[in-house]
Every structure is written in structure tokens, then in C-alpha cells.
Amino acid sequence: MELALIQSLLFVGVLVTGVTPFVRRVSRIRANILRGRGGVPSDQHWKRWTQMTRVALGQSKMGSRPVAAFFHLLIYVGFVLINLELLEIVLDGVLGTHRILAKPLGPLYSWMIACFEFLGLAVVVACLVFLWRRNVQGPARLYKAIELQGWPAKDANLILIIELILMGALFLMNAADMALHPGVYAFPVSGLLAKALQGWSPEALYACERIAWWLHIGGILGFLNYLPYSKHFHIILAFPNTWYASLEPAGTMSNMPVIQQEVKAMLDPQSPPPTNVADAQSRFGAKDVHDLPWKSLLDAYSCTECGRCTSVCPANLTGKKLSPRQIMMSTRDRLEEAGQWLEANPQAITVEDHRSLLGDFISTEEILACTSCNACVEACPVLINPLNIILELRRYQAMEAGEMPSEWALMQSNIENNGAPWAFPAADRGAWAQESRILS
Amino acid sequence: MEILTLAQLQSRGEQAEYLFWVGCAGSFDDRAKKVTHAVVQILQHVGLSFAVLGNEESCTGDPARRSGNEFLFQMQAAQNIATLNAYGVRKIVTACPHCFNTLRNEYPELGGSYEVVHHSTLLQQLINEGRLKLQDGGPFKGRKITFHDSCYLGRANGIYEAPRALIQALDADLVEMRRSKKNGLCCGAGGAQMFKEAEAGRLEINHERASDIAGSGASAVAVACPFCMTMLRDATAQTGQTNVEVLDLAEITALSLPSAPHNTVLNNAAQIGSGLNESGLNG
């Protein structure tokens, strides 16, 4: 009885210690994201719920790559449903019970565990396939991709290995339990494993079951804390990211009301002067991460580096330096760095470490290579928009830094002077009608 | 029949149902002007009431905005919106997906709200309504034609079907390229790339697209954008696909009008593919 009490207290302690740093880390990320510009949309709730349900919950954009979509679905469904068992684990842990749901659910319980076990097996298969695709033979966006060298590749493998360990612990726990209570439980997958445990002493089986049980719950808590440092954070952020994603046609560029007002005041001296003073003091476009809209920052943390964007980018396909995935990874890296600097300098309002997203993380060559074709935006399974970051950086380049290719400067001066990007006189704009041979 | 400007109509106290927004390329690019003529010919054939702005039209500001110059974009937008609103324009048709995108999606927030259609959508509507009838067994019957999706029509605005319906209405054999619709590959001109050299790389984007065209086996590529037109004409010529014609949807439609064999659009089209000297805008 006392041992059970100690176990319960220990469990509650582990649970609290495990969840607290996760919550703290997430709230820091949240604050970092909200340092970005712009308001939080609260309009069109129904459309947003539909979008999130379809794209994040329903995985609607995954299907364009069927192999990846299939195995990803196995892990996704497995992960979500197997975690229902977590409910029982938490109840058992807190109350000091053992398989508390077994009795009330009756035969349904064995059926439910059997389902989890088959899903667990599917997860194992999918993880092995994904490890194969990343390390032995796979699409160029995953296997030997330049951008993934170093930490990103390790991160990806680590996630898959942790998932394999978690599934292994689940099977071992069930197998030991089955061997310990012959005839009480019948589990289809771990049953095979249970045979291998025959001949173990009851004490050894009990210890094995306990160790596997703690490994499972401990592993999940550990994994939970790993998430916000990893690309795997997408399993959570995919939901808010698809909820807040733009509902506008993809071709729409965001308006800059400050400039709109300035131009209005210039063209019509009678109109009231620009009012939005706070915004007027900030930069045009983005030089650093906190100049970007906050949704772009959420995008950066939501990216799981699958590379579908880069694999369809016309600039990247033809050997230009631009990679939309790298844009997202660079944004996240700088965002982390900037957030840490602000935490280390709590008196500072803005980041003053003499570094910036444009220049230190993303080069001009990258942003100049973009054709704004929206292929990356269309390809993203969680509605990340790399194009938006590129266009905001271009705005800074053109309007604050005053740097652009000479051909663009010429094109812009043509528009300014003749109303066309080419050097034709505006007075000849209607001349095509006279040239026509089909008109009398 | 003459083409009237809104100013001319106003002085007569008349109005037009549609404003035909010609765009910079449609006004000045020699190749795109042929598309402009084809659009005019179709609209006049159908008897649709339309007018143009003539010299009062100015760049929508799309390349300025996408190259980062929001000031210039806002100047262009303010000027155009003032003109459009002064004439009380309600419906606009344009043959340029970039103009289409800006007018449709970016002007409303600045005070310019209009019903904007791309010519591919309008032509399809006219066919569906029975107002536009094409030749039975016209010049494209059975011919393998592929359609190149413009980014600003397709992914940017979700218009994939109208251009295809139009090609199918000609009894042509519509074949798809390896990358099409949502997966369509850019021609390389968008985002103001049209007006600068590409960044250093392995090959040009339009040449990458040329391999898709070759793979489709089509003898003609239908386009819906003046910039795609330039990029793909260059690409097919430079990759030795001299037998592949690049035609705008409006030209294909105009060539299939019942009166087509007698009109000069056909003669214009016959000259297409004769060389690059026609584009002449960068020179």
C-alpha cells in the first residue's frame, strides 16, 4: 500500500516536472512570435475552422505525394489514437491502479488494446520506411539534401528513433503484463513477444512491465519537451497555423496602409495627414524577423522541413540559390537567436545584436531569384507562406536600403515617367488601335 | 467598327458594359498587341459592349509592388482607381493575369472595387451562353494543344478550368504537360523577373518549362499571359522546338470564329514563330 502511494506521488511529481518546462518553453515561443507585426485575425471563424479541419486534421494537402502521405497517415493516426491510452496510464499513475479501464470496458478493452497494437505496428513500419527514405534511398528533398546537413538531419532521425522506442516500450509493457497474468489478457502483437518472456520469474516480469511502463510515460514527457526545440513541433502548430492562414486568393500582396495614406496626402493636400504614428515610425518591409508579420513567424516554427516547397520551386529547380525551405529554416534560426538575445537583455525593446535576417541569414541573391509563382505556398501541407517573407524582405531592400538590380530601377522609373515598365511614351499607349489591320 | 475610349463614350453620353483593360504588354509589345487585336475581334464579333481607356490607362503597379516599391505601386493604384471611379467602371476584362490579379485582389482595399474577369473566363462564359459560336471543325480540330497555366491565373486565383474548357470547345486534343494546374511550372517571368536578368543558376526557368512542352507532344502551346508568351516563345525557339506554336487563348478563339479564314488574325498567326525580332521590347 505504501509502495503504491510512493509510486503515485512519484508519478504526479514526474508529470508536473515533465509538463512545466514544456509550458514555459511554449509560452516563450508564443511571446517571440507575437513580437511580429500586425493584428490577429478574428474574422470568418467558420471558414477558419473549416480550413483547419480540412488541412490539419484531415491532412488534405498531403495526398499530392502518395507514398509520404500514406506512411505519414499511419504515424499520425497511430500517434493520436495510441495517446488515448495515455489517459489510462495517467489514471493508473495517479490512483496507483493497474489497467483501470480493463474491468469497466470488459471485452471492449482487449479489442481496444488490440487496435492500439496494430496501429503501433503500423507506426513502427512507417518509421522504418521514413528512416530508409532519409538515410538509405529517398527523394532528393530528404536524402542528402544540402539544407538538412547537420542538426536538421539528426533531428529528423532522432524523432523517428524516439517514436520507435516509445512503440517498443508499449509492446514490452503489454508483453510482460500478458506473461505475468496468463489467461487474463490477450494482445495480438505483444502476444508474440510474450512467448519470448516465458520462463522469466514473476518478479522479473513485474520489473520488466514497470520499467516499460515508466519508459513509455517518461518517454512521452521527454518527447513533449523535445518538440518545441525540434521541427517536430509541427504536430501542434499545424493547427493554429492553418487556422490563421490567409483566406485571400494567393496572388494578393498585403497592403501597407501607412504608404497608402502618405500617397493619398501627397496627391490630395486636403486629405488628413497620416494618423498611424506608431506604425509610421517602424521600417518599411522587413530587415529582421520582428519586422515580419507575426503569422510569418508562426510559419517558421510550424515548418517541419519536408522540402515539398523547395522541390517545386522553379528557381531552385534551375539551380538558383533560393530554397523556400531554407527561407523558413533561416527565419526560425534567426527568430530563436533574436528571442534569446531579448531574454538575455530584458531592458531592451528591440534586438540590437548587430545581426539581421536579411544579410546574416538570407542573402539578397536568394530573394531576387523568386518569381512569386506561389508553387511553394501551394505545396505546403500546413499552409506556410515562404513567399510572404521574401516579398517583405524585398520591400525593405527597395524602400529602406535603396538597393535593387539596375534593370529594376530602370523599370520603376519607366513606370513612374511613362506609366509602363518599358520606355514607351504614355501618349502612344492607345496607338495599337490605329495599327490594327482588322479595324476600319 | 472602331474601338472607343471611355472618354469618347462619355462625350456621347453613352456607357459600355465592359472596360477592356489592355495592359502595358498588350499596348506596347508587338507580339502581345496581336492578342489585344484578337480580343477586340472576338468582343466585336459577339457584339459585347466594351471600351478601352486608351492613353488614360497606366501600369497597375504589379511589377513595382513585387520588386518592393510600394510607394510607386500606391501611386499607380491611386491614379488608376481615380480614373476608373471617375468613369463609373463596373466590369473589367483583361488579357493579362498580372493586371487581373492586381485589379481584382489588390485594388478593392484601396477604394477600387470592380467585377474583374480574365479573358479566358469571359470567353468561356460567352461560349456557354451561346453568344460565341465557333466553327465546326475549325483549324484546331484534332490538333494536339497543351495549356501553360500562368501562376497569376492558376495558383494565385484558382482559375484552371476556363482555359481548358475553351480549348476543348475547339475540338482540339488537349494534352497536359508533366506539371500542370496546381503543379504548373512558372515561365520565369513573375515577381518582376520579366524586367531583369535571372540570378545565376544551372539553366533558365523557361528552358526547364520547354522540356515539359516537348514531353507533351503538343504542336501548339496555349498561353493566357503576355509574359508567359514571351518566355515560352523564347524557350521553344532556343531549344529547337521551331515546330511548336505559342498562341494566346484569344488568338486560338479568334482563329476559330466562323469568319476566321477571311480575317487577318490568321495572317498574323501565320507569322508567329518566324523569329524573335517581333518581341522587340527589351531592345
Q: Which three cell numbers stand for residue B175?
A: 494534352
What pLDDT is recorded for position A228? 97
Residue A440 maps to a domain: no
Residue A422 maps to a domain: no
Main-chain phi, psi angles of B223, to 5 degrees: -120, 170
Residue A230 maps to a domain: yes
Tell which of A322, A385, A438 to mutate to test the B interface (max B CBs under 10 Å): A438
B-facing residues of A in 235-294 (CB < 8 A) are 248-253, 255-256, 259-260, 262-264, 267, 284-285
Same domain, A158 and A29: yes
Tell which of A358, A432, A434, A440 to mutate to test the B interface (max B CBs under 10 Å): A432
Same domain, A109 and A214: yes
Q: Which three cell numbers stand for residue A185?
A: 489478457
Same domain, A237 and A385: no
Nearest Cβ partner for A415 among B64, B158, B186 = B64
Q: How many other C-beta atoms lie within 10 A of the C-beta of residue B71?
A: 22
Q: What are the pLDDT digits (tens) for A184-196? A: 888 899 999 998 8
Residue A156 maps to a domain: yes
Nearest residue to A223 via CA among A74, A83, A115, A95: A83
Res. A437: pLDDT tops 70: no
Same domain, A136 and A231: yes
What pLDDT is recorded for position B1? 53
Q: Which three cell numbers stand for residue A327?
A: 527561407
Q: Which CATH number does B6-123 carry?
A: 3.40.50.1860
Same domain, A26 and A126: yes
How many residue pairs from chains A and B have C-beta atoms closer than 8 A?
232
Q: Which three cell numbers stand for residue A263?
A: 500617397
Q: With bands split at pLDDT 50, 70 and 90, how would you rate the model's confidence at A295?
A: very high
Closest chain A residue to B260 measured between Cα atoms? A438
Give the mean model confidence (pLDDT) for residues A404-413.
97
Nearest Cβ partner for B156 among A250, A285, A415 = A250
Into which CATH architecture does domain B134-270 fall? 3-Layer(aba) Sandwich (3.40)
Amino acid at B275: G
Record: contact A394-B110, CB cut-off 8 A: no
Sole residue written with cell 538538412? A148
Under the phi-then-psi rule, with left for phi > 0, alpha for psi from -120 to 50, and beta for the rest, what region is B160?
alpha
Q: What are the pLDDT digits (tens) for A332-390? A: 999 999 999 999 999 998 999 999 999 999 999 999 999 999 999 999 999 999 999 99
Nearest residue to A92 via CA among A193, A203, A202, A216: A216
Main-chain phi, psi angles of A375, to 5 degrees: -65, -40
What pLDDT is recorded for position B277? 33
Residue A321 maps to a domain: yes
Same domain, A180 and A265: no
Q: What are the pLDDT digits (tens) for A22-69? A: 999 999 999 999 999 998 887 899 999 999 999 999 999 999 999 999
What pLDDT is recorded for position A316? 98
Give the mean model confidence (pLDDT) for residues A292-317.
98
Same domain, A204 and A274: no
Q: What are the pLDDT digits (tens) for B225-272? A: 999 999 999 999 999 999 999 999 999 999 999 876 544 444 444 344
Nearest Cβ partner for B157 among A249, A253, A408 = A249
Q: What are the pLDDT digits (tens) for B116-134? A: 999 999 999 999 999 999 9
Residue A78 maps to a domain: yes
Closest chain A residue to B197 measured between Cα atoms? A407
A-facing residues of B in 26-55 (CB < 8 A) are 26-28, 33, 36-37, 40-41, 52, 54-55
Chain B partners within 8 Å of A407 (Cβ): 195-197
Q: How many domains does chain A have?
A: 2
Query: What is the spatial distance between Cα B250 and Cα B257, in angstroms, rounded to a whole number?
Result: 11
Same domain, A190 and A262: no
Sole residue written with cell 511613362? A418
Q: A400 and chain B: CB distance < 8 Å anywhere?
A: no
Nearest residue to B16 via CA among B50, B40, B42, B53: B50
Record: contact A422-B28, CB cut-off 8 A: yes
Q: What are the pLDDT digits (tens) for A117-156? A: 999 999 999 999 999 999 999 999 999 999 999 999 999 9
Query: What is the spatial distance between Cα A432 and Cα A436, in angstroms, rounded to a whole number?
Result: 6
Record: contact B195-A429, CB cut-off 8 A: no
Give the mean model confidence (pLDDT) for residues A157-183.
93
What pLDDT is recorded for position B283? 30
Same domain, A134 and A268: no
Same domain, A16 and A107: yes
Record: contact B110-A255, CB cut-off 8 A: yes
User: pLDDT below 70 — which residues of chain B?
Assistant: 1, 260-283
Q: What are the pLDDT digits (tens) for A220-258? A: 999 999 999 999 999 999 999 999 999 999 999 999 999
Query: What is the spatial distance between Cα B155 and Cα B100, in angstroms, rounded to a whole number?
Result: 13
Nearest Cβ partner for A429 among B55, B76, B186 = B55
Q: With bands split at pLDDT 50, 70 and 90, how would you rate the model's confidence at A434?
A: confident
A259: domain CATH number is 1.10.1060
Record: contact B101-A249, CB cut-off 8 A: yes
Helix ranges (H only) for chain B are 6-11, 23-28, 30-46, 62-66, 70-86, 97-101, 119-128, 161-169, 205-216, 226-238, 249-255, 264-271
Range of the domain at A198: 2-34+65-243
Residue A414 maps to a domain: no
Q: With bands split at pLDDT 50, 70 and 90, how would you rate the model's confidence at A418?
A: very high
Q: B269 and chain A: CB distance < 8 Å anywhere?
A: no
Element (H, E) at B174: strand B173-175
Record: contact A426-B58, CB cut-off 8 A: yes
Same domain, A153 and A269: no
Same domain, A79 and A216: yes
Sole residue written with cell 531583369? B196
Q: A435 and chain B: CB distance < 8 Å anywhere?
A: yes
Main-chain phi, psi angles of B114, to 5 degrees: -135, 165
Longest dimension (CA), chain B: 58
Question: Among the listed ranges A71-80, A281-290, B271-280, which one has the minimum average pLDDT value?
Answer: B271-280
What pLDDT is recorded for position A7? 84
The residues spanned by each domain of chain B are 6-123, 134-270
Query: What is the spatial distance between Cα B100 and Cα B159, in angstroms, rounded to a whole number?
Result: 12
Mean pLDDT of chain A: 93
